[in-house]
Structure 1
Amino acid sequence: MLKIIEDDPWLRPYEADIENRLDYYEQHLARIIKSHDSLEHYALRHKELGFNHSEHHNGWYYREWAPAADALSLIGDFNNWNPEAHPMQRKEGGVWEVFIDDKEGLGHLSQVKVKVQNEQGSADKLPAYIQYAIQHPESYDFSGYIWKPEKAFKWTDKKFDLKKLGAPLIYECHTGMAQEYEGVGTYKDFEENILPRVKELGYNCIQLMAVAEHPYYGSFGYHVSNFFAPSSRFGTPNELKSLVNTAHNMGIAVIMDIVHSHAVKNEAEGLNNFDGSGHQYFHEGGKGYHEGWDSKLFDYGKEEVERFLLSNLRYWLEEFHFDGFRFDGVTSILYHHHGNGVAFDHYDKYYKDGVDWDAVRYLQLATTLAKIIKPNCILISEDMSGMPGMCQAVDEGGLGFDYRLGMGIPDSWIKLLKHKADENWQMDEIWNVLSNRRYREKTIAYAESHDQAMVGDKTIAFWLMDKEMYWHMQKIDENLIIDRGIALHKLIRLITASAGGEGYLNFFGNEFGHPEWLDFPREGNNWSYKYARRQWSLVDNKELKFEYLNNFDKAMIALLEEYKVLDAEPAHLINMDEKNQVLIFERAGLIFIFNFSPNNSVPDYKFWVPMQGNFHYLLNSDDAQFGGHARVDSTTVHQSFQEAAENYISIYCVNRAAFVLERK
């Protein structure tokens, strides 16, 4: 019996489905190994297609897969854009090839395109495997460039060891909006100005958004056009490498937010209609179009598509030293219906109804390959369907991810903030959302990510404090709305981080309650960058209360790291008190106490503890340094006492406060 069924007996009726799905993967993997020696060789398509220099032949081979095309020719500044100068020859499997001698002038930063002819006519395209593309600001058109600098980038990160990282404490970032000025930030800006902040806060991992090239800045990087090209709007490939290298030397891992769920529909710079067939990389007709995203959907059953995407993973891991991936849109990948309008309320939805077996197989190959290339890499699935086995090994019947995003957690917090006064918050509802996850499947918990910060929604800080943040964030200014907001902001983040999963994620700036939403330049805002940035001056200003939230986040992350809270077994509930809105649990040997009540401060709050001893404060959200009211002396030691052979302690449990105690 497969391990996934041993772990979840409710899956027994689907044993045949799970075994058949695994067999579908294993037979395909066996074919790959037979024909290509190994999966890692199969994923070297970027060394075969695209531009590859041959030292032996003193020239360049350019190859392109375009099975439906009638003719291809390489054009560029090196041949005066003459389509007759370098016609390509058709080889096996719909691959076209041309050799360019070094004497002909093709080299680093040569500008190139490929002219593709088919029965509809001809069109100039960017090569599918292009590694550097630049968008012209006047026309928004792209040009492709050869990227092969004379001196290769010198890495100095050999001492960085992912094995020693522990539970991921993730700082989710976007390079372009990382700066305070109204414009697009660069890799260099990020390396010099943001990485030191990450290090100071204590996060051990950054998750970079919008890495692969995309034509529309406002797509947040989710409409990718050039899968092998780091976005040039932030700088050069070497500048991205420098960013990763510096992060590693600071002890910080770098995860890439990778988009293999869909691609931009643009034809000139993207993959869409590359060979004129309309369905080369993507499914044919409506099946290949995502109406909600206005983008194209990959056909994971095609060998060349599979090799393109797998090679893309290998490329980012090896060429740029990324430490793993957060796979975007996994629900859309897995199902023919893409999760649209589907309530995943029965196991049939995971095994009987609308599952794309080719897509499942692709994800199994992807996670297997990533672990071969970098065994300790971090693989995170953004899946809202809850497919069983997402984070179990492939040979156990799973898909091989390390973590799934706890997407229900931020949705729950926003729902509470929008629809319930906090005096009506139910402790069992909060606890159930944070503790309800599949056995043996690790979760990345988060109170809010970039999704909650976009225009049309609000950050947690803005839900709590709204326009009052504009006028009452000076430390000398007393304001009840701000006091409530700061208090609950700290409680929400601490309980989410400590009880919600085995990893934690924060969208940068939200740790200090960044006051405004995200809005990229667009016609509707007169192409303004005002809301496409992070206002670090707010948290750096010692006269403002943003510093309180930043201090608390730093202390919280330090506690999670020092005591390996997220590496420990899931939190164990100790006390749930709906009357006083108190929730207490134990994790990693620490006692976490939360009082969400607006009013009830209990002077002698007694509760059971699982061990006897003297309990000291490790963290007190009511401390003055965190914007609290200093009602509890953090030097106090609580000695346990016995009643009916059970251990208890008693504390001053003040309202809207959280405490973490350690037994000594």
Structure 2
Amino acid sequence: MAVRDKKKQTETGFITAGDRYLFGEGTHYEIYNKLGAHPKTFDGKTGYYFAVWAPHAASVSVVGDFNNWDPDACPMQVLETSGIYERFVPGIKPGELYKFAITTQTGKVIFKADPFAQYAEYRPGTASITAFNDSFRWSDSIWVQKREATNPREAAMSIYEVHLGSWKKKNRPEKDGYYTYKEAAAELAAYVKEMGYTHVELMGIAEHPYDGSWGYQVTGYYAPTSRYGTPEEFKYFVNYMHKKGIGVILDWVPAHFPRDAHGLADFDGQALFEYADPRKGEHPDWGTKVFDYEKHEVSNFLIANALYWIEQFHVDGLRVDAVASMLYLDYGRKDGEWVPNRYGGNQNLEAIEFFRHLNSVVAQRGHGAMVIAEESTAWPLVTHDPKEGGLGFTFKWNMGWMHDFLEYMKLDPYFRKFNHHKMTFGLTYFNSENFILVLSHDEVVHLKCSMINKMPGLFGDKFANLKAGYTFMLGHPGKKLLFMGQDFGQLHEWDEKVSLDWHLTEEDLHKDLQNYVRDLLHIYQKHPALYESDDDWDGFSWINANDGDRSIYSFVRYAKNHKKSLLFVCNFTPVARPDYRVGVPKRGNYTLILDNEHGAYKTGEKAPVLKAVKSECDGQPYSISLPLPAYGTAILRFS
């Protein structure tokens, strides 16, 4: 169908003066229902209504297959002084390609994808696609109601970080063998449920042009990537996960965006979504643009986008990427390459206000959804209430713990006694924020080795080391995150182009590690002592933090009622201790529920029971003795 109308079109009335006012104030939290492309009926005709914010443009038109991509065919009308252009085009159907043809102040015509597009062309295509009428019917109300009534900081959370494109692949040529959202849902849910994870965290769901960016350079913030299917199919994925009792977290990237010609960069011929000054508006390390958080419309674009994923797709949380790069004006920049704030400091005051605004709005709307900060510095009060000077995030990734943990685990066991503090330091600040302990994709790429190959020793020693490390991680306060493949000992570094090596799970050592991680995760969910008081000294107590010569750590995790508390003992050397004595806080029986050689003791199995004797050890009035093998671990339950 060809449409040609060079006459000035009258305003449609779809975007009201109230809409324009709220958008200009940065508080139109459903602006995605107004800007973008939406099926409408106007003057008795059905078609699509298009609207775009382009205040620096000389003129804008909508182009697509429906008008042979002719910039003269469907000119758009600017609405007063808002910088918003609109156009209703009759006869357009769902699934048609389109872009905005923007004539800049210099007379150049540039073609841009729709910033609010809900669907996009499969790469390497860059056009937006008119979305289908949304007929998806949700059936996850039980999950959503439970989420709204749950405090996530006092709940179990073990996260499986997943890149859908390389988790598994199909043996077929279409779309590079990617699983669709629907295909992935059943297999991924079954695996996650069996292993004992509570949530999946998905990388790279918002549309992005380059696979190698892993989804961290976004061009379609409102569009689930077409690599795996349609927006409705992604809703199916989330709904399916919820019905299986699994939460869904998305990686979200409000820190920067790429320079791709069809994307947000210089959107209307000038800096619009980004800061105009390159000392604020460009990331020299990444070659990307930085959002201008001072513009209300840009802040609105991002906050509405967060709510879009939470409210329209029912996701349970957003993990905000690269928070540190947003908070610090000098992040990745040398002297002279950044602009101080009005007080002369290096804090980005607009980004701070953005985070407080974002997190306050998400909390106030009462979904029970989480906002998680990947923040790698010592910025204070990240997870504290904005009213108290905090940023308001639900959780913060504990990057400091991750670095210390991995540095320690990579050491030859002989040298661990000289670095004993690396494993205890995290317990000096664990209650300063609400933390998630993370071993993410970033730790198994760029020549950092896979998790199993970070471990020292012969091949079998590597698995024993990793078992001990994961056991310590389980006991350490904080929610948990593992990247896919780490639970069975993936050998090669992660590569987004190929599937994980699932065949390894048929080999003894890999299968044994996978079973051990499964046991740990199920113990985690079963015992409130491991998650109820993650930010409180009431929930954690050292037994012996100073046994550096033997590289052994022992501690207790307490439930709120101090019932069914857990004692952890972890040996990080290949030296067996046949009669290791450890202090305990009270008399009674201590039941072994897991060790590194047996794994978890299942129902019906006779688990060893150790009776505490009145014999002072480790500053405790009672003690027990247990055999602690090379790289031995033990978790014991007591009341």
The alpha carbon displacement at 1:62 in A equals 1.5
User: Which region of structure 1 is more displaced relative to structure 2, 370-379 or 316-325?
Assistant: 370-379
Q: Is the 8 A contact 1:390 1:404 kept in 2?
A: yes
The corresponding residue for 1:152 is 135
The whole-number CA distance in structure 2 between the counterparts of 1:38 and 1:441 is 34
Compared with structure 1, are the counterparts of its residues 304 and 407 closer, same or farther at alpha carbon in structure 2 (3 Å cutoff)? same
Q: Secondary structure at the match of 2:121?
A: strand
Q: Is the 8 A contact 2:409 2:469 kept in 1?
A: no
The alpha carbon displacement at 1:195 in A equals 1.7
The corresponding residue for 1:491 is 468
Matches within 5 A, 1:136-535: 136=123, 140-149=124-133, 152-160=135-143, 161-162=146-147, 163-164=149-150, 166-181=155-170, 183=176, 184-268=178-262, 270-338=263-331, 353-418=345-410, 420-426=411-417, 428-437=420-429, 439-446=431-438, 448-464=439-455, 481-499=458-476, 501-520=477-496, 529=497, 532-535=498-501
Question: For 1:586, which of 541, 545, 556 is the aligned residue?
Answer: 556
The alpha carbon displacement at 1:438 in A equals 5.4
Question: For 1:554, which of 518, 532, 557 is the aligned residue?
Answer: 518
User: Which region of structure 1 is more displaced relative to structure 2, 323-332 or 605-614?
Assistant: 605-614
Compared with structure 1, are the counterparts of its residues 641 and 341 closer, same or farther at alpha carbon in structure 2 (3 Å cutoff)? farther
Q: Is the 8 A contact 2:54 2:85 kept in 1?
A: no
Q: Which amino acid aligns with 2:213?
A: S
The whole-number CA distance in structure 2 between the counterparts of 1:436 and 1:292 is 33
Q: Which amino acid aligns with 1:304?
A: E
Q: Secondary structure at the match of 2:245?
A: coil
The whole-number CA distance in structure 2 between the counterparts of 1:615 and 1:243 is 43
Question: For 1:131, which of 92, 110, 118 is the aligned residue?
Answer: 118
Q: Which amino acid aligns with 1:167?
A: A
The alpha carbon displacement at 1:39 in A equals 9.5
User: Per-residue CA shift, 1:470-508, capped at 9, x if unaligned?
Assistant: xxxxxxxxxx71221111101111112221x32000001
Compared with structure 1, are the counterparts of its residues 280 and 593 closer, same or farther at alpha carbon in structure 2 (3 Å cutoff)? closer
The whole-number CA distance in structure 2 between the counterparts of 1:411 and 1:646 is 35
User: Per-residue CA shift, 1:198-223, capped at 9, x if unaligned?
Assistant: 01111111111101111100101011
Question: For 1:78, which of 51, 66, 77 is the aligned residue?
Answer: 66
The whole-number CA distance in structure 1 between the counterparts of 2:610 and 2:201 is 40
Q: Secondary structure at the match of 1:277?
A: coil
The corresponding residue for 1:474 is none
The whole-number CA distance in structure 2 between the counterparts of 1:56 and 1:657 is 72
The corresponding residue for 1:8 is none
Matches within 5 A, 1:33-72: 36=22, 42-55=28-41, 58-72=46-60
The whole-number CA distance in structure 1 between the counterparts of 2:609 and 2:510 is 30
User: Per-residue CA shift, 1:47-83, capped at 9, x if unaligned?
Assistant: 2211233457655332111111101011122233232
Q: Which amino acid aligns with 1:251?
A: G
Question: For 1:640, which of 590, 608, 612 is the aligned residue?
Answer: 612
Q: Secondary structure at the match of 2:38?
A: strand
User: Per-residue CA shift, 1:89-138, capped at 9, x if unaligned?
Assistant: 1223443333325xx311211211111001151011111111111134xx
The alpha carbon displacement at 1:582 in A equals 1.3
Q: Is the 8 A contact 1:63 1:95 kept in 2?
A: no
The whole-number CA distance in structure 2 between the counterparts of 1:146 and 1:155 is 22
Compared with structure 1, are the counterparts of its residues 334 and 168 closer, same or farther at alpha carbon in structure 2 (3 Å cutoff)? same
Q: Secondary structure at the match of 1:188?
A: helix
Question: For 2:532, which of 548, 559, 567 is the aligned residue?
Answer: 567
User: Per-residue CA shift, 1:424-447, capped at 9, x if unaligned?
Assistant: 21374133333132534111012x
Q: Is the 8 A contact 1:88 1:96 kept in 2?
A: no
The whole-number CA distance in structure 2 between the counterparts of 1:333 and 1:265 is 18
Q: Is the 8 A contact 2:38 2:131 kept in 1?
A: no
Q: Is the 8 A contact 1:437 1:443 kept in 2?
A: no
Q: Which amino acid aligns with 2:196?
A: G
Stretches of structure 1 lacking an aligned partner (at least 5 in a row): 1-31, 343-347, 466-479, 521-528, 627-632
Q: Which amino acid aligns with 2:623?
A: Y
Q: Is the 8 A contact 2:250 2:318 kept in 1?
A: yes
Compared with structure 1, are the counterparts of its residues 433 and 189 closer, same or farther at alpha carbon in structure 2 (3 Å cutoff)? farther
The whole-number CA distance in structure 2 between the counterparts of 1:298 and 1:41 is 17
| TM-score, with length taken from structure 2 | 0.86
Compared with structure 1, are the counterparts of its residues 278 and 440 closer, same or farther at alpha carbon in structure 2 (3 Å cutoff)? closer
Aligned length: 584
Q: Which amino acid aligns with 1:61?
A: Y
The corresponding residue for 2:12 is none
The whole-number CA distance in structure 2 between the counterparts of 1:39 and 1:274 is 20
Compared with structure 1, are the counterparts of its residues 586 and 340 closer, same or farther at alpha carbon in structure 2 (3 Å cutoff)? farther
Q: Is the 8 A contact 2:574 2:630 kept in 1?
A: yes
The whole-number CA distance in structure 1 between the counterparts of 2:56 and 2:20 is 27
Compared with structure 1, are the counterparts of its residues 65 and 438 closer, same or farther at alpha carbon in structure 2 (3 Å cutoff)? same
User: Per-residue CA shift, 1:245-301, capped at 9, x if unaligned?
Assistant: 110001111011000010011122x10111001344444334211111111101100
The whole-number CA distance in structure 2 between the counterparts of 1:602 and 1:212 is 51
User: Per-residue CA shift, 1:587-612, capped at 9, x if unaligned?
Assistant: 0221000111222x223222221111
**Is 1:117–2:83 an aligned residue pair?**
no
User: Per-residue CA shift, 1:383-435, capped at 9, x if unaligned?
Assistant: 111211100011121010111101123322332355x3112213741333331
Q: Is the 8 A contact 1:266 1:272 kept in 2?
A: yes
**Is 1:536–2:502 an aligned residue pair?**
yes
Q: Is the 8 A contact 1:88 1:98 kept in 2?
A: yes
Q: Is the 8 A contact 2:58 2:103 kept in 1?
A: yes
- Structure number with higher helix proportion: 1
**Is 1:107–2:93 an aligned residue pair?**
yes
Give the CA RMSD over aligned residues.
Answer: 2.7
Q: Which amino acid aligns with 2:292?
A: D
Compared with structure 1, are the counterparts of its residues 41 and 390 closer, same or farther at alpha carbon in structure 2 (3 Å cutoff)? same
Q: Secondary structure at the match of 1:545?
A: helix
Q: Secondary structure at the match of 1:176?
A: helix
The whole-number CA distance in structure 2 between the counterparts of 1:609 and 1:253 is 37
Q: Which amino acid aligns with 2:612?
A: S
Stretches of structure 2 lacking an aligned partner (at least 5 in a row): 1-17, 559-564
The whole-number CA distance in structure 2 between the counterparts of 1:192 and 1:96 is 42
User: Which region of structure 1 is more displaced relative to structure 2, 209-218 or 33-42?
Assistant: 33-42
